Structure 1
């Protein structure tokens, strides 16, 4: 039987008792009566161990079988570490709010109707995001038999239908290029975004270290998907305007990479000054249109853009002014 650090399991009068003993403290795991190999015992140990290893000192242990306790059980399980850092950050904020409001509530008293009421009060995209954050918690707890059933089963939230970020049109691209000529920081951000198709979080960190032969290769921060972009003539010309030795292509006045927020704010202001409506994500869509007009297949574009689904690429390239787009890109190089 595998030994887990600081786990103490003792049998008294025919019944198992489990504690986490570390230093001069011994904390009940709240899963007494179960065999030491039971998944519930291991899950409770993992949550307490993670609290000691990664939380601030003297972080209190939630009461057993409460919602706060269940969140800790889930985060110490196998699913949470597989999420991207950005997804964990966003869901952590949601779970923290729920723990503040309902942390002391016993898990078995939380019903489907309770969750639906809370989500309905929120509504829209916020409700959809909150469901995505709390559903895995209850699914995990049901899987290891801490609760009899997952109360989020059957709950569906329809996101409001929106057009999303607009694709940069050929006319808007021309206006931006006219307002921000080559040599300006704003134009450098624009050109790199257009020719790499990188999202702002990835654009902020891209540098010469990502060049491998005739390609730029990087892992998308959001999904972990490897992205491979050809070094076209236009992209080579843009890179040639950046410092030879630098941590990233786009740098602050102090020679440091921008944060994704700062990069987005700079581009937002630059777009407003040029009188256009698109954002960096609109250039990511234009990147897909560019390669579609070059004759690349949906699969190839998906690889270059780092998309997980072909539908995303098809959505970006639909109903676009492709002929004018490619003509403009060639003329501006």
Structure 2
């Protein structure tokens, strides 16, 4: 129920306000009848902001880009469901745009202006900003604050990329030769190789994920469940981790690594041996290994928690598979 909606007529014209804690805020949809969808959209947008923002938060001027971002971050269900890593990246982008264009009225923001800004940015940076900005305008459209998403139908030149390099046979051999069993660098390497876990998941998995011959965990990025076989090699690596610990990998203080610090640790370890691949490259190698073992694309997707089969197919192309299999099995 719209408990804080105050609508009243003056000389036959409707006026609508959000009244709460002694404050009365104009919803700026005057002239419309109380049950018009645009009135209710304006009400719920304001209500969500009050529910999820600190009471002393400064409200941006209505119908500006900063105001749109404020409503999006506090009230969009899609935003709430993003992985924390995605939120962190996109929030940084949105804050930069608010600082530069926050006072700009939504009605003044055209597709042409956005296209020019993204074209000037170029490359993957433009792709990232496109992904961050488009949902904000779409949220405004769904609230009936704007009639059309200015980014709808926008074509973006996406740079061709081979993605993160896959750890090849030479990478694996060099790392195994340099980092001895017992070092945290080797533990991170082995677990990443045998589980195929992404950085954010690798930092969180532990014995609590083991059961029925599988290491099972939900990917933080997508929520998709990974079911990794507890092979003899993986069991051997796990046996070298503390029996009672929240995660397999612990720092020198006996606490789990953050995903960022774990990624930095492995980056430095990889650089030390001249290895171009990073943790994501080991995730790709994991997929290649199981492809060589005769597992189907569907089975590998279930192990690695991929959303699409195309992701798995990209990972398992044109790699020295036989050598990778031999090094994974014999290198532990």
Q: TM-score range by the shorter chain?
A: over 0.9
Where do residues 246-325 of structure 1 align in structure 2 (5 Å cutoff)?
246-325=245-324
What do residues 141-178 of structure 1 show as CA deviations (whole Å, max 9, x unaligned)? 23443223221123222222222211111121111111
More displaced 10-residue stretch of structure 1: 69-78 or 127-136: 69-78
C-alpha deviation, 1:27, in angstroms: 1.5
- Residue in 2 aligned with 1:47? 45
Q: Which runs of 5+ in 2 are unaligned?
A: none
- Residue in 2 aligned with 1:63? 61
Q: 2 CA distance for matches of 1:15 and 1:212?
A: 66
4+ runs deviating over 6 angstroms: none
Q: 1 CA distance for matches of 2:248 and 2:36?
A: 52
- Residue in 1 aligned with 2:16? 18
Q: 2 CA distance for matches of 1:246 and 1:152?
A: 48
C-alpha deviation, 1:126, in angstroms: 1.1
CA contact (8 A) 2:8 2:16 kept: yes
Q: 2 CA distance for matches of 1:93 and 1:199?
A: 22
RMSD (Å) for aligned C-alpha atoms = 1.8
More displaced 10-residue stretch of structure 1: 315-324 or 21-30: 21-30
Q: 2 CA distance for matches of 1:331 and 1:223?
A: 33
C-alpha deviation, 1:5, in angstroms: 4.1
Q: Alpha carbons of 1:68 and 1:33: their partners in 2 closer, same or farther (altered >3 Å)? A: farther
C-alpha deviation, 1:136, in angstroms: 1.7
Q: Which runs of 5+ in 1 are unaligned?
A: none
More displaced 10-residue stretch of structure 1: 54-63 or 268-277: 54-63
CA contact (8 A) 2:41 2:144 kept: no
TM-score (norm 2): 0.93
- Residue in 2 aligned with 1:329? 328
Q: 1 CA distance for matches of 2:267 and 2:297?
A: 29
User: What secondary structure does 2:39 align onto?
Assistant: helix
Equivalenced residues, count: 331
User: What secondary structure does 2:288 align onto?
Assistant: helix
- Residue in 1 aligned with 2:218? 219
Q: 2 CA distance for matches of 1:72 and 1:205?
A: 31
Q: 2 CA distance for matches of 1:43 and 1:23?
A: 21
More displaced 10-residue stretch of structure 1: 49-58 or 133-142: 49-58
C-alpha deviation, 1:198, in angstroms: 0.5
- Residue in 2 aligned with 1:81? 80
- Residue in 2 aligned with 1:115? 114
Q: Alpha carbons of 1:205 and 1:59: their partners in 2 closer, same or farther (altered >3 Å)? A: same
More displaced 10-residue stretch of structure 1: 25-34 or 42-51: 42-51
Residue 176 of structure 2 is aligned to residue 203 of structure 1: no
Q: Alpha carbons of 1:209 and 1:320: their partners in 2 closer, same or farther (altered >3 Å)? A: same
CA contact (8 A) 1:46 1:73 kept: no
What do residues 87-108 of structure 1 show as CA deviations (whole Å, max 9, x unaligned)? 2222222222222222222211
Residue 160 of structure 2 is aligned to residue 155 of structure 1: no
User: What secondary structure does 1:268 align onto?
Assistant: helix
Q: 2 CA distance for matches of 1:39 and 1:102?
A: 29
Where do residues 116-155 of structure 1 align in structure 2 (5 Å cutoff)?
116-155=115-154
Residue 237 of structure 2 is aligned to residue 238 of structure 1: yes
